[in-house]
Amino acid sequence: MANLINESEVRSTWSPIIESATGINDANKLAWMSTYCHNHKLYEDANIMSLSPMNLAGMGATKFPSAGENGSGDKSPSLLPLAMQVAAQTVGLDLVPVIPMAGPMGLLSYLDFTYEGGKLKNTVAPTYIKVGVATGENIATVKTEIEALAEDKIVAAAGYGAYTLVGSSRIDGKLIFKVGTIIAATVVADVTLALASLTATATATGVELVKALEDHIKGFTAADAAGTPFTRDAGESTPDKVMGLSLFSKSVSAKTYQVAAAVTREQVQDLKQFGVDAVAQVESVLTNELTQSINQHILGSIRTLGEANVTSFGGASSFDITLLAASALTGGDTVASAHRQILTQVLAAANLIANRGRRGAGNFAVVGAQVATVLQSVSGFVANPMSNTISQSAGAIYPLGSVAGINIYTDPTLDWADMKVAVGRKGDGNGPGLVFMPYLMAESVQAIAEGTMAPKIAVKSRFALVEAGFHAETQYVTFSVAGSWTNLINLV
């Protein structure tokens, strides 16, 4: 299905409808939800299930739709309102950029900048490459060995080009080389031989280009590696070094969450006396189930990437903080001042994201109920009023407030004793990080069971959660609050 749309027209058509139906007025959310509603409406119009001439004598067996095949004629009047409610209630979508898909598969494209043209296989070498060492090798040891070979840090394998060690990657620790003239067919073969000549155990792994936004090479724009500026005559006679723009794409396919429920005819009939629509109540429960599943899927991925970032930065759990028990506090320390350390660590995590990701500081944090209680008690924490109750449906994560520009969300599904804190940065979808790509936020099908003639409702959500960019983990940090206490609030 082609996704050739006029975004301005789609926005003007759908924004008032979405705002009226869900109460959402955030510009960013209205933008992607308008695009999604347009795509969903096209899908709905193209896939209307109706009774065929063969079914004129009866509807036959109930049947849910499957790939390439329509189901029976049991169909709820409209699917889009349900999809809008799922999109509105899924607070996890506030944590990641959303790019709607027009079909069940597609491509996610993103840009990156590389040093010197971006060619790996050529008789003319790229100026800089990044090289890992074999599993089990100590990068620092290998780097020391390379630096010790020659005062000018030139490494050369007989018959091959020259490699100048200029440092190591600040993200993954790989060694960065400035490459001289290449004689062999590939840079990979050259670097493997060069490193093999240094030590019997060190071998090259993962040879790749150096990305300009993740790593910075001092002296690339200057006269020498120390960063000395060119004199006028040298600047006039020296060719400019080149930054390369590379476009990368990642294939995306929609995954599925699905759930169904049934009610009896007696329930439908008898609950009417209390003014309760049994079918609507069941659909609401199914919607909430989808919302919670998507929320936890997003949060689980955020926490996993945050742990990977911390491990790469300083080792597993290296960013955790330990609070003293109340009985161990001395001087002017109080339980409240100990609680203040948690807020400081949240801010530190946000700044670590800015330091490693180089796209901006973290702007949200997700905590458990007990940590949320402590943050609310800290002086200076201002909880924002929440007039929109849609985001606070039972079981879903909900916004608590903001502090120092960081939005705080509470995840009530975390155990009371779980002190894990996930801090992240929601980008615009063009940089590294998680991207949520919905195809069908919610598709509802109602059928009538043959044996009981009772209604049965099935709800399905199809989407992709994609790790975009080369270092998606740099946009998240996960840490825990530890201590010798059993209750964080009283530190006992």
CB 120 within 8 A of CB 186: yes
Residues in contact with 74: Cβ distance below 8 Å, sequence separation at least 6, in sequence order: 59, 62, 445, 446, 447, 448
pLDDT the model gives residue 120? 54
Whole-number Å distance between alpha carbons of 169 and 189: 21
Residue 323 has pLDDT above 50, yes or no: yes
Arithmetic mean of pLDDT over the chain: 75
Q: What are the distances in angstroms from CA 15 to CA 28, 37, 72? A: 11, 10, 33
pLDDT at 445 over 70: yes
Q: How far apart are CA 461 and CA 209, in angstroms?
A: 38
| Spatial distance between the Cα atoms of 215 and 228, rounded to a whole number of angstroms | 19
Q: Which amino acid is at 128?
A: Y
Q: Is the pLDDT of residue 5 over 70?
A: no
- SS3 label, residue 201: coil
- Strand-strand pairing, 455-468 and 255-262: antiparallel
What pLDDT band is residue 139 in, cutting at 50, 70 and 90?
A: low
Which is more confidently placed, 348 or 242? 348
With 70 as the cut, is the pLDDT of residue 134 above it?
no
Write the CB contacts of 3 (distance below 8 Å, at least 6 apart in sequence).
39, 102, 103
pLDDT of residue 82: 61
Sheet holding 433-448, edge to edge: 255-262, 455-468, 433-448
pLDDT for residue 393 = 42
pLDDT at 231: 93
Bridge partners (DSSP) of residue 476 are 424
pLDDT in tens, 211-264: 887 788 888 888 887 889 999 999 889 888 888 777 777 888 889 998 888 888
Domain ranges of the chain: 36-46+77-104+254-492, 112-249
Q: Residue 307 above 90 pLDDT?
A: yes
What's the confidence (pLDDT) of residue 348? Answer: 94
Segment 374-408, tens digit of pLDDT: 887 775 555 444 333 333 344 456 777 787 788 88
DSSP state letter for 37: H
Say if residue 14's pLDDT is above 50: yes
Structure tokens at 407: 């939005």
pLDDT given at position 153: 43
Q: Please say if the pLDDT value at position 181 is more than 70.
A: no
* Tens digit of each residue's pLDDT (9 = 90 or more) over 72-99: 544 443 455 666 666 666 767 788 888 8
Which of 117-131, 263-277, 390-404 has the lowest average pLDDT? Answer: 390-404
CA 334 to chain centroid, in Å, comes to 37
Per-residue pLDDT, 2: 44
